[in-house]
Amino acid sequence: MRKALSILLVMALLAGVLGFVPAVRASQAVVVRMTIGSTKATIDLKQVVLDQPPLIENGRTLVPFRFIGEALGAQIGWNPTNRTVSYILGDKNIVLTIGSATAMVNGVKTTLDVAAKILPTGRTVVPVRFISESIGAKVAWNAATRMVTVTMAATLDVGIVLPTKDEPRWLQDQTRFNTALKTAGYGAEILFSQGSSAIEKQNVEALITKGIKVLILCPQDATAAAAAADEARAAGIKVISYDRLILNTSAVDYYVTFDSISVGKAQAQYLVDKTTGTKNPLYLYAGAASDNNAFLFFEGAWDVLQPKIANGTFVIENSSEAVALQGKATLTRAEMAKIIGQITTNWDFTVAKNLAEANLTVATAGKKGNVFILAPNDGTARSIADAFAADKDVKSYVITGQDAEIPSVQYIIDGKQSMTVFKDVRTLVKDASAAAVDYLTGKTPEKTTTYNNGKINVPAKPSAVISVDKSNVKAALIDSGYYPASDFTGLP
């Protein structure tokens, strides 16, 4: 079974950021084996040496207090004044007093068959069955081998569902979740929807069955995902919309995202800054109409581009719908939908390539020359750039992107893509994890704004983005530790 994303791991992530290690429940399966009278023990079959062999007293097994707590992932405490040892794991809080047959489990008095004690060697030992079972682990005793086996079953607290493995963008998210989780000693349960809302729903249902308490969902289709969110809500699960907003349902508790309007603005501003004179040919492309972000990116871009279209800096070459609306500074969603319907790439490389080629086929040489291209993201930018580069009437092009995907960073270094908008996925992973932990510990995540999803105002925390081109690619992406320099050739 895959290791589960645990409260512990997300807390550990936070711990890294905030500098504390809160007590949380481990979600990882653990098997601990100890033998009476032997210092040799195993944790998940890995040999460890105990500083004190387990012993039997009153028919009960006593084991080193620190060892059993650490093996099960508990936070251990020792209070020399009260002579108490404590274990905190998830919602369990256990306190034993040296020499006392009374222990406290979550504030409730419990009587022990055998007390915790300090041996003449100075080592503290505790009753293994009491500690393990109070924490939620099972204990087995083999009289023949005199071996105690403590088994802690894995639990899955958080499930993550991402749109597709076919775009490097979402592999970045996967990598960042995994890296963060591995550092904390745990793995994540991440499932991919492979561009299908039906698979997405199955993924969510599978995670619900596994007992998740928080769902982090990046919807394939914003509206279709509402059904999956509703199911999760009905099962008592908190739903965090990740990067893309789930629309038309009240079953969204929180939204972690980048500021997508700023993404569009950064792309458009880059194009504007590269223009000289007037009548610069402008080719517009957009994301999938089923993705709310596609509207936000376009809205941000239009905000910056429209005045420059109105004043003649740009001439839109590939969208009659955009031309029809070019006098309007602010577009309604329905108006944007009309334009996007004409220039959508559907977030698909092939659709993007075919559309760009079709646009170039009908455009006369006069509409080419030195062109400006609003490409919505890196994957589509590479396809569109390749199509424009192959056209003999295109003398030069400036093309946007977003996501700082490795192949696009290489394109930027090689001068084949002009810019990208860097969305630091580490931040998104951190925010999503922090929100998950908040829910798991009964808190409400911090919101800085709300996004209306057609049904409710969803509390949200958008984060900033950075415009990257050849001039700052090294500082933004390599020096920041986001990618190793060895991923690229010819870095400036």
Instruction: Tell me if 377 contacts ligand BGC by CB under 6 A.
Output: yes
Which of 366, 365, 339, 229 is CA-nearest to residue 284? 339
Kindly state the smallest distance separating residue 377's Cβ from ligand BGC, in Å. Answer: 3
Cβ at position 382, least distance to ligand BGC in Å: 12
Contacts of 392 (CB under 8 A, 6+ apart): none
Q: What angle do CA 35, 39, 45 make, to 5 degrees?
A: 65
Letters for 398-417 (x = contact with ligand BGC by CB under 6 A, - = none) are: ----xx--------------
CA distances from 157 to 64, 73, 77, 351 (A): 29, 15, 25, 38
Q: Which helix (H) or strand (E) holds 94?
A: strand 92-97
What's the closest the beta carbon of residue 266 comes to ligand BGC, in angstroms? 13
Question: Using CB under 6 A, which residues numbered 338 to 357 contact ligand BGC?
Answer: 347
443-482 binders of ligand BGC (CB under 6 A): none
Minimum CB separation of residue 369 from ligand BGC in Å reads 29
Residue closer to ligand BGC (CB basis): 116 or 381: 381
Is residue 430 a contact residue for ligand BGC (CB under 6 A)?
no
How far apart (Å, rounded) are the C-alpha atoms in residues 112 and 404? 59
Q: What angle do CA 278, 283, 284 make, to 5 degrees?
A: 120
Structure tokens at 200: 């997405």
Binding-residue pattern over the window 61 to 100 for ligand BGC, x denoting contact by CB under 6 A: ----------------------------------------
Nearer to ligand BGC, 167 or 391 (CB): 167
Give SS3 for 302: helix
Question: Closest CB to ligand BGC among 197 and 377?
Answer: 377
Only one residue has tokens 């007590």, namely 23
Pull the structure tokens for residue 316.
Answer: 């839109």
Q: How far apart are CA 145 and CA 457, in angstroms?
A: 61
Site stretch for ligand BGC (CB under 6 A), options 47-55, 85-93, 285-293, 481-489 = 285-293
Least distance to ligand BGC from the beta carbon of 17, Å? 23
Q: Which stretch binds ligand BGC (CB under 6 A): 75-83, 185-193, 286-294, 461-469?
A: 286-294
CB of 167 to ligand BGC, least distance (A): 5
Q: Which is nearer to ligand BGC, 258 or 314 (CB)?
A: 258
Cβ atoms < 10 Å from Cβ of 396:
12
Residue 200 or 243 having the CB closest to ligand BGC: 243
Binding-site residue total for ligand BGC (CB under 6 A)?
12
> Which is nearer to ligand BGC, 219 or 459 (by Cβ)?
219
Report in angstroms the alpha-carbon separations of 457 from 219, 246, 248, 254, 332: 17, 12, 11, 10, 19
Assess 431 for contact with ligand BGC (CB under 6 A). Answer: no
244 counts as binding ligand BGC under rule CB under 6 A: yes
| Shortest spacing between CB 410 and ligand BGC, in angstroms | 17
Whole-number minimum distance, CB 376 to ligand BGC, in Å? 7
Task: Please name the residues in contact with 414: beta carbons below 8 A apart, sequence gap of 6 or more.
Answer: 490
Q: Does 243 bind ligand BGC (CB under 6 A)?
A: yes
Task: State the residue for tokens 């969305």.
Answer: 423
H/E/C letters for each residue in 358-373?
A: HHHHHCCHHHCEEEEE
- Closest contact distance (angstroms) between CB of 430 and ligand BGC is 17
Of 13, 134, 12, 11, give the one whose Cα is nearest residue 439.
11
Q: Which amino acid is at 114?
A: V
State which of positions 133-172 bind ligand BGC (CB under 6 A).
163, 167, 169
Q: Which is nearer to ligand BGC, 100 or 248 (CB)?
A: 248
Contact between 293 and ligand BGC (CB under 6 A)?
yes
Two structure tokens written together for 364: 């006369």
In contact, 349 and 382? CB cutoff 8 Å? yes
Residue 244 or 461: which CB sits closer to ligand BGC?
A: 244
Is position 265 an interface residue for ligand BGC (rule: CB under 6 A)? no
Interface residues toward ligand BGC, by CB under 6 A: 163, 167, 169, 243-244, 287, 291, 293, 347, 377, 402-403
